[in-house]
């Protein structure tokens, strides 16, 4: 990662700035009902104490009504039918099974200013993994289930023996939060070094990861999803801080913009070598980019519900952060069916 680290992007119609709101909106189920539909939405709120139920219900009602004001149309809200109290351990284990959720960042931030961040608690990018050979960080990877990760094919060039690899999680490379052995490495059958096409691989862990607040999976987009350009995405990794720089111990993040393939294929940019399986992200003016060692790691964007989706895999670039040479990523939607064929996910 190179360049300054911009502010984290927070999007979505339901930011959690209202009192009592914890993790935000979760999945909705829409069922037919007389004269319309009924939408069941799981909402979770974190309250400091177990206040009395009636007051809580009224408060929740007010929050939900207020949020719905931004949307046209009318909905009848019936909280009483489904409102129930849940202890935080149960709530958290439900949340950890969802893909692409990040926890309350303000808590992690405040513990940072008071010094000493608890790594077992505050992985900000819980799907980020480090792929290591002989305990040396080589590449990034992204957790997509309890046992599978996606990474880049070029990370395994001349190094396809799973026994030589380990995978670590957590914000810091040293000490790692958790380390897993690798059982299987599947490199895309059409990947041919030094070509950059088909730069994708999936890695199966020898043991299952039990999801926690600190380590859980990202969401995968559907293969037919259209990824708009000009939107913000975040790339994370332990890659070099500049073109010949060293590996930082703490995970870095950078916000980059998705670049139209037509623009990226311009003569002065990458002159036609960007194929449909690739995606450009960064800034034509340069300055912020992923870099050596970030390869295989995630490029993610949040959806309107603040659930994060893997849209790219760090793949290649002409040096790092140079003008007209943005980062090039493996386009995940293009390989979504390949991922399913190899992993069943
Ligand atoms: N191939 C590099 C690696 O193995 C990643 C390059 C990304 N470059 C860029 N300018 N975004 O780590």
Task: Give burial (CB, 10 Å; 0-12/13-18/19+) of 51.
Answer: exposed
**pLDDT of amino acid 25:** 38
Lowest mean pLDDT among 40-44, 60-64, 158-162, 286-290: 40-44
132: helix, strand or coil: strand
295 alpha carbon – ligand 1 mean position (Å): 5
Give the residue among 187, 168, 188 at the shortest CA–CA distance from 178.
168
Give catalytic status of residue 78 as yes or no. Answer: no
Whether residue 100 has pLDDT greater than 90:
yes
Closest atom, ligand 1, to C-alpha of 282? 11
Please indicate whether residue 289, judged by its CB atom, sits closer than 6 Å to ligand 1. Answer: yes
**H or E element at residue 338:** helix 336-343
Query: What pLDDT sits at residue 69?
Result: 75
User: Taking 50 as the threshold, does the pLDDT of residue 119 lie above it?
Assistant: no
Instruction: Please report how many Cα atoms fall inside a 13 Å half-sphere around the Cα of residue 61, on the Cβ side.
Output: 14
Mean pLDDT of 215-239: 95
Mutating to test ligand 1, I would choose from 137, 290, 293 the residue with most ligand atoms within 8 A of its C-beta, which is 290
Whether the per-residue pLDDT at 68 is higher than 90: the answer is no
CATH of domain 126-212+338-343: 2.40.10.10
pLDDT > 70? residue 80: no
Q: In terms of pLDDT, which residue wins out, 125 or 15?
A: 125
pLDDT of residue 70: 74
| Model confidence band, residue 274 (pLDDT cutoffs 50, 70, 90) | very high
Residues 145, 119 contacting (CB under 8 angstroms) = no
Q: How far is the CA of 206 from the centre of ligand 1 (A)?
A: 27
Asked if 310 and 222 count as a contact pair (C-beta separation under 8 A), the reply is no
296 lines ligand 1 (CB under 6 A): no
DSSP one-letter string for 177-246: SEEEEEEEEEE-TT--TT--TT--EEEEESSPPPP-SSS-PPB---TT----SS-EEEEEES--SSTT--
Please report, for the chain, the start and end positions of each structural domain, with discontinuous segments joined by +: 2-86, 126-212+338-343
Longest dimension (CA), the chain: 66
Contact predicate 311/300, CB 8 Å: yes
- Low-confidence winner among 63-67, 206-210, 315-319 (lowest mean pLDDT): 63-67
The whole-chain average pLDDT of the chain stands at 82
- Which stretch of 37-46, 243-252, 319-328 has the lowest confidence by average pLDDT? 37-46
Give the rounded percent of residues in the chain with a pLDDT score beyond 90: 61
Whether the pLDDT of residue 113 is over 80: the answer is no
Question: How much is the pLDDT for 20?
Answer: 29
| Average pLDDT, integer, range 243-263 | 92
pLDDT, one tens digit per residue, over 9-42 is 222 333 333 222 333 334 456 677 777 777 666 6
Task: Quote the percentage of the chain above a pLDDT of 70.
Answer: 77
Which of the residue ranges 3-17, 165-179, 259-273, 331-345 would you say has the lowest mean pLDDT?
3-17
Catalytic (active site) residue 188: no
- Kindly list the distances between the CA atom of residue 336 and the CA atoms of 54, 106, 180, 245, 339, in Å, as whole numbers in the listed order: 46, 33, 25, 33, 5
Determine the average pLDDT of the residues in 205-231.
Answer: 96
pLDDT at 248 over 60: yes
How far apart are the C-alpha atoms of 261 and 272, rounded to whole Å? 9
Q: Is the pLDDT of residue 122 over 60?
A: no
Least Cα distance to 188 among 331, 4, 7 occurs for 331
314 lines ligand 1 (CB under 6 A): yes
Residue 90 has pLDDT above 70, yes or no: yes
Average pLDDT value for residue range 91-104: 83
Tell me the CA–centroid distance for residue 223 and ligand 1, in Å.
24
Look at residue 273 and tell me whether its pLDDT is greater than 80: yes
Q: What is the pLDDT of residue 49?
A: 55
Q: How far, in Å, from the CA of 140 to the mean position of ligand 1?
A: 11
CATH class (in words) of the domain with range 2-86? alpha beta
Written as one string, the DSSP assignment of 57-126 is: HHHHHHHHHHHHTTSSS------TTT-----HHHHHHHHHHSSS----HHHHHHHHHTS---TTT--SST
């Amino acid at each position: 990662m190179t360049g300054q680290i911009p502010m984290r992007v927070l999007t979505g119609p339901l930011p959690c700035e209202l009192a009592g709101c914890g993790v935000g909106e979760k999945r909705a189920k829409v069922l037919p009902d007389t004269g319309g539909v009924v939408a069941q939405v799981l909402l979770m709120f974190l309250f400091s104490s177990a206040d009395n139920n009636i007051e809580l219900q009224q408060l929740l009602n007010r929050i939900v009504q207020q949020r719905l004001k931004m949307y046209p149309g009318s909905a009848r809200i019936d909280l009483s039918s489904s409102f129930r109290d849940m202890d935080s351990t149960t709530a958290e284990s439900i949340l950890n099974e969802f893909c692409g959720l990040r926890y309350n960042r303000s808590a992690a931030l405040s513990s940072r200013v008071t010094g000493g961040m608890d790594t077992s608690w505050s992985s900000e990018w819980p799907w980020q993994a480090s792929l290591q050979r002989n305990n040396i960080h080589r590449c990034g990877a992204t957790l997509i289930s309890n046992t599978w990760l996606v990474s880049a094919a070029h990370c395994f060039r001349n190094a396809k023996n799973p026994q030589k690899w380990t995978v670590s999680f957590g914000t810091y490379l040293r000490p790692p939060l958790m380390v897993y052995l690798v059982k299987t490495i599947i490199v895309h059958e059409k990947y041919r070094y030094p070509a950059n096409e088909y730069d994708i691989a999936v890695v199966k862990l020898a043991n299952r990861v039990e999801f926690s607040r600190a380590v859980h999976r990202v969401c995968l987009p559907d293969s037919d999803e259209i990824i708009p350009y000009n939107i913000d995405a975040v790339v994370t990794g332990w890659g070099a801080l500049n073109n010949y720089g060293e590996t930082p111990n703490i995970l870095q993040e950078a916000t980059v913009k998705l670049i139209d393939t037509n623009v990226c294929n311009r003569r002065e940019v990458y002159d036609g070598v960007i194929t449909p399986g690739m995606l450009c992200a960064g800034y034509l003016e340069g300055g912020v980019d992923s870099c050596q060692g970030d390869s295989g790691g995630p490029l993610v964007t949040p959806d309107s519900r603040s659930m994060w989706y893997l849209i790219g895999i760090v793949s290649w670039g002409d040096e790092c952060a140079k003008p007209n040479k943005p980062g090039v990523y493996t386009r995940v939607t293009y390989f979504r069916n390949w991922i399913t064929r190899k992993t069943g996910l």
